[in-house]
């Protein structure tokens, strides 16, 4: 009998200890959930984003974590598919019980999960571009990348400075291109600019000279091309081929070395808005973003290939999250959300973030640098 009681007792205590230890274990890690387009058409976004998250979380855990707790990344690959994103959000919240979410890579996936984020009351920082994510402001939803509207504004401001009033617009068929086109058309009149030609092309087209011939016949003083991938490089080459001497503006979608490489000589003189990370080397030493961009660039490039602004968005989202966790002294969702919303003067790779209750992105237009390509290299235009 005594032995039986003893056994029972020991079993009970064992159970208790297991329960306690598992509780301690759960409390010991901070779970960050993410859903990114690591494969598929938008993989150029999701791939560097995930690499960045993994790299920095590993590094942080080696240094002892945050608030003495390890960080665990729970990630699902959406392939850019909004339906999958919806399922993954449910899984992240209900099954994995994450504390905060970073993602998705595309505006489509982010907007698809927005109602669920509201329902589950979980803070989420998106890495997608569309202005619709933060306008109107939604309580639990934040984003870090610049918007296409900011890019258009930056370009138009420079055009106005140079005295251009008539501009030809040419854009691609993708979501990014179309959204950029809409924003450009809406914003132009604010800068006294008239869009005198509005042409489009398919993103896989191999020749845009027909559209550009029409632009050549218009009375445009400059050309703005909103697009990414190889098409803007073909546009740039075609403009030169047709002997059009107008100044060319591109969007932040082509802010990569690849664009210069593909366009060759034709890229010289092209102006475009870009995040500071693209020109980390060229930034002045006293630039407030010099330190953070160089640090991220060096770390990323030591492990992977060339740095991109997309990975930098993931870096900013992670750093803002970690700062907020420290400020909230834990991962209580309400406190964490408030702490994210109160992000002030965070100098990130994308710019200086000042969030508020009405601004869940926190970047100003000046966080874009205006670049000109000179002799195949980026140069910052002041």
Partner 1 sequence: MSDYILQFLISGITVGSIYALVGLGFTIIYNASDVVNFAQGEFVMIGAMSAVSFSIAGIPLIIAIIMAMMVTVLVGFALNQFAIKPAKGASVVTTIIITIGASIFLRGAALLIWGKDFYSLPAFSGEQPIHIAGATILPQNLWVMGISVLLVSAVLWFFKYTLLGKAILACSCNHTAAQMVGINVGKMMLLSYGLSAMLGALAGVLIVPITFSSYDAGIMLGLKGFSAAILGGIGNPIGAIVGGLLLGILESLGAGFISSGYKDAIAFAIILFVLFVRPSGLLGHEHQERV
* Interaction site with partner 1 (CB under 8 A): 43-44, 47, 173, 199-202, 204, 206-207, 209-211, 213-214, 217, 229-230, 233-234, 237, 240-243, 258, 261-262, 264-266
Instruction: Report the DSSP pairing between strands 368-374 and 271-275.
Output: antiparallel
Whether a cis peptide bond, with omega within 30° of 0, leads into 136 is yes
**Angstrom distances, CA of residue 248 to CA of 196, 211, 225, 259:** 15, 15, 8, 14
Q: Which is nearer to partner 1, 85 or 254 (CB)?
A: 254
At closest approach, how far in Å is the CB of 270 from partner 1? 16
Rank residues 254 and 361 by Cβ distance to partner 1 and give the closer one: 254
* Choice between 102 and 197, CB closer to partner 1: 197
Strand partners, 31: 72
The nearer residue to partner 1, 240 or 364, going by C-beta atoms, is: 240
Coil vs helix vs strand at 116 = helix
* Segment (H or E) for 366: none
Rank residues 163 and 243 by Cβ distance to partner 1 and give the closer one: 243
The least CB distance from residue 257 to partner 1, in Å, is 10
Q: How far is the CB of 234 from partner 1 (least distance, A)?
A: 7
For residue 340, what is the enclosing H or E element?
Answer: helix 333-341
Q: Least CB distance from residue 209 to partner 1, whole Å? A: 4
Nearer to partner 1, 48 or 273 (CB): 48
DSSP state of 174: S
Count the neighbouring beta carbons within 10 Å of the beta carbon of residue 110.
Answer: 26
Rounded to a whole number of angstroms, the minimum distance from the CB of residue 245 to partner 1 is 13
Least CB distance from residue 175 to partner 1, whole Å?
15
CB of 250 to partner 1, least distance (A): 15
227's CB contacts (< 8 A; 6+ apart) are 171, 172, 174, 176, 177, 180, 203, 235, 250, 251, 253, 254
By beta-carbon proximity to partner 1, the closer residue of 232 and 362 is 232
Asked if residue 199 lies in contact with residue 215, where contact means CB atoms within 8 angstroms, the answer is: yes
């Amino acid at each position: 009998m005594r032995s039986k009681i003893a056994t029972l007792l020991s079993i009970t205590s064992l159970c208790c200890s297991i329960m306690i230890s598992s509780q301690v274990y759960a409390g010991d890690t901070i779970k960050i959930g993410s859903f990114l387009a690591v494969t598929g058409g938008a993989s150029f976004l999701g791939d560097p984003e995930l690499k960045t998250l993994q790299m920095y979380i590993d590094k942080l855990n080696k240094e002892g974590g945050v608030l003495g707790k390890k960080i665990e990344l729970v990630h699902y690959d959406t392939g850019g598919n909004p339906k999958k994103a919806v399922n993954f959000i449910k899984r992240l919240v209900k099954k994995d019980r994450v504390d905060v979410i970073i993602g998705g890579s595309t505006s489509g996936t982010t907007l698809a999960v927005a109602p669920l984020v509201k329902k589950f009351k979980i803070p989420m920082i998106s890495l997608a571009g569309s202005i619709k994510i933060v306008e109107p402001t939604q309580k639990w939803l934040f984003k870090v990348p610049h918007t296409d509207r900011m890019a258009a504004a930056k370009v138009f401001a420079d055009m106005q400075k140079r005295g251009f009033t008539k501009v030809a617009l040419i854009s691609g068929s993708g979501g990014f291109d179309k959204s950029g086109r809409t924003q450009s058309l809406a914003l132009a009149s604010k800068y006294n600019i008239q869009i005198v030609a509005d042409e489009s092309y398919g993103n896989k087209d191999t020749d845009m000279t027909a559209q550009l011939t029409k632009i050549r016949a218009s009375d445009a003083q400059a050309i703005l091309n909103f697009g990414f991938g190889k098409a803007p490089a073909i546009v740039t080459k075609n403009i030169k081929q047709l002997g059009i001497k107008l100044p060319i503006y591109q969007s932040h979608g082509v802010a990569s070395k690849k664009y210069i490489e593909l366009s060759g000589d034709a890229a010289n003189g092209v102006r475009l808005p870009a995040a500071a990370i693209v020109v980390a080397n060229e930034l002045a030493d006293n630039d407030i973003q010099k330190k953070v961009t160089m640090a991220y660039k060096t770390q990323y490039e030591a492990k992977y290939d060339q740095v991109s602004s997309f990975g930098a968005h993931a870096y900013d989202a992670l750093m803002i999250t970690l700062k907020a966790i420290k400020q909230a002294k834990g991962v209580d969702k309400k406190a964490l959300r408030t702490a994210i919303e109160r992000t002030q003067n965070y100098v990130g790779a994308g710019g200086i973030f000042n969030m508020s209750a009405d601004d869940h992105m926190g970047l100003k237009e000046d966080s874009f640098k205006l670049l000109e390509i000179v002799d195949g290299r980026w140069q910052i235009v002041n």
